[in-house]
Amino acid sequence: MTAPPSKPPPGSGTTSAWVVEHPAPIGSGPLRLVERAIPEPGPTELLLRVRACGVCRTDLHLAEGDLAPRRPRCTPGHEVVGEVVAVGAGVGDHRVGDRVGAAWLAGTCGRCRYCRTGRENLCPESRYTGWDIHGGFAGHVVADARYTYRLPEGWSDEDAAPLLCAGIIGYRALRRAELPQGGRLGIYGFGASAHLTAQLAIARGADVHVVTRSPQAQRLALELGAASAGFDAPPEPLDSAILFAPAGGLVPTVLAALDRGGTLAIAGIHLTAMPPLDYDRHLFQERTVRSVTANTREDGRAFLAEAARLRPTVRVARYPMTRADEALADLAAGRITGAGVLLAQ
């Protein structure tokens, strides 16, 4: 049965939201906290009261201009845990009071050859939360119900939020890396996504070797079961590797660490320039480089089901929503170990 449309609670006509005023280095203050009208959901949409929102490196790329803005004064944030407070007229499977997650992928055309063949992440008309539409660094957000997720029971809001991008993208990156059963995985960079992905790989029987500069991240990796963690080359050749750090200069280094037939998956939406590759040293013997582009909804559903079963540890640094600019500054400076999460007050 189709739920009737509902309205925002009386007296709640405006909501606080962070906007990217002018993309610039995070230390120069590109974000601004504003008040704006609470939107009403369209026919397929939900209005969510934001309970928590993860802080992703993609939000930092947007604030600093590494990603060209797609709308002026956009609100970042795409790891949104929200409570449904209004339901569009065409939505039949959500009710006011439900807790749902809104993630990076916000919409696709549903008609192109990519959408028709299970590759909606490549849809030329795909839209993204916190880039094409306003995201979750706000009191309220609108999301298309068809692109939201039911969240695993028993997860707190702050632990569930990083699952919605860090977890989902890490899951897809692990698929793209084609890690063999019981294989050796290298993880380069150890932030929000990497610390969840490592636990998935370990649960599948892999030996995980983490390469990161941060002593705190190295300790966390070992606590979570990594076979090694440091800043030197892994102690054995790798079957697969995932590059989470947005540093193109590392690509030759990672490829050189791969065994014959190994695969490198580059997980970020932004990467600095790559140096030239030497064919014999970096690519010969069937080494492969693959990018990771967003995710499909099936990736999201599959990952959340696996997370519900495995219950990975989520290391969270908590911030009130009013300190989103500080959270991004800490992320840029490497002061967050695990995942940063903004919490509603």
Q: Give me the pLDDT at residue 11, please.
A: 40
Tens-digit pLDDT profile for residues 1-44: 334 344 445 345 999 999 999 999 999 999 999 999 999 999 99
Q: Give me the pLDDT at residue 2, please.
A: 38
Tens-digit pLDDT profile for residues 92-143: 899 999 999 999 999 999 999 999 999 999 999 999 999 999 999 999 999 9
Tell me which of 160 and 92 has the higher pLDDT: 160
Q: Give me the pLDDT at residue 341, please.
A: 98
Instruction: Give the integer Cα–Cα distance in Å for 253 and 29.
Output: 34
Instruction: Summarize the confidence of residues 274-296 as an average pLDDT.
Output: 96
* The pLDDT of residue 150 is above 60: yes
Structural domains in the chain?
Answer: 14-164+315-343 (3.90.180.10), 168-291 (3.40.50.720)
Q: Strand, coil or helix: what is 42?
A: coil
Task: Please report, rounded to a whole number, the percentage of residues in the chain having pLDDT higher than 90.
Answer: 94
Instruction: Summarize the confidence of residues 136-154 as an average pLDDT.
Output: 96
| C-alpha distance across the termini of the chain, in Å | 34
Output phi, psi for 56, to 5 deg: -110, 155
For 280-301, letters b (16+ CB in 10 Å) and e give eebeeeebbbbebebbbbebbe
Q: Strand, coil or helix: what is 55?
A: strand
Q: Give me the pLDDT at residue 12, please.
A: 57
Q: Give me the pLDDT at residue 345, please.
A: 81
Q: Give me the pLDDT at residue 240, please.
A: 98
Q: Give me the pLDDT at residue 3, please.
A: 41
Tens-digit pLDDT profile for residues 230-248: 999 999 999 999 999 999 9
Q: Give me the pLDDT at residue 230, please.
A: 97
Tokens matching residue 266: 């580059």
232: exposed, middle or buried (Cβ count in 10 Å: 0-12, 13-18, 19+): exposed
152: exposed, middle or buried (Cβ count in 10 Å: 0-12, 13-18, 19+): middle
Tens-digit pLDDT profile for residues 174-222: 999 999 999 999 999 999 999 999 999 999 999 999 999 999 999 999 9
Q: Strand, coil or helix: what is 321?
A: helix
**Residue in the block written with tokens 């060209």:** 68
Q: Which has the closest alpha carbon to 193: 290, 292, 273, 275?
A: 292
Indicate the helix (H) or strand (E) that contains 166.
Answer: helix 166-176
Task: Please report, rounded to a whole number, the percentage of residues in the chain having pLDDT higher than 70.
Answer: 97
